[in-house]
């Protein structure tokens, strides 16, 4: 997140820093709330995990899109481009980190036939 802010400031000045800060904060909040919601849903009803994941992550994308729409209406290109860039970079970084952490958990994804015997 800090790297996105520094790059935006160097490339676009204070407008870029403002846009990157808005995009970064919105992304971290939306993805953190979505992850928390998924952990909560999975703990309550594992069978609903997949449909909930589709819904939560679709809603997360829509919320971030609305944030970028609001930023684009409020500011010019110097604000919206760094905001969009920081949203993309942080989403990729969050998803990649999450995938690596889940991969290390060694959660079985399916049961082998006859494993109960």
pLDDT in tens, 19-36: 889 999 999 999 999 999
**Is 90 a member of any domain?**
yes
- Is the pLDDT reported for residue 57 higher than 60? yes
In a domain, 53, yes or no: yes
Under 8 Å between Cβ of 92 and 4: no
- Domain housing 93: 2-103
Residue 59 covered by a domain: yes
Supply the pTM of this predicted model. 0.79
CA 80 to chain centre: 18
Overall domain count for the chain: 1
Burial 27-45 (b: 16+ CB within 10 A, else e): beebbeebeebbeebeeee
């Amino acid at each position: 997140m800090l790297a996105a802010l520094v790059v935006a400031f160097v490339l676009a000045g204070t407008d870029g820093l403002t846009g990157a800060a808005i995009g970064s904060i919105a992304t971290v909040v939306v993805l953190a709330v979505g992850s928390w919601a998924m952990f909560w849903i999975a703990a309550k009803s594992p069978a609903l995990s997949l449909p909930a994941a589709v819904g939560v992550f679709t809603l997360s994308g829509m919320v971030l899109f609305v944030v970028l729409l609001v930023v684009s209406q409020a500011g010019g290109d110097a604000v919206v481009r760094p905001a969009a860039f920081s949203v993309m970079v942080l989403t990729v970084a969050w998803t990649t980190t999450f995938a690596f952490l889940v991969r290390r958990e060694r959660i079985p994804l399916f049961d082998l036939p006859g494993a109960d015997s």
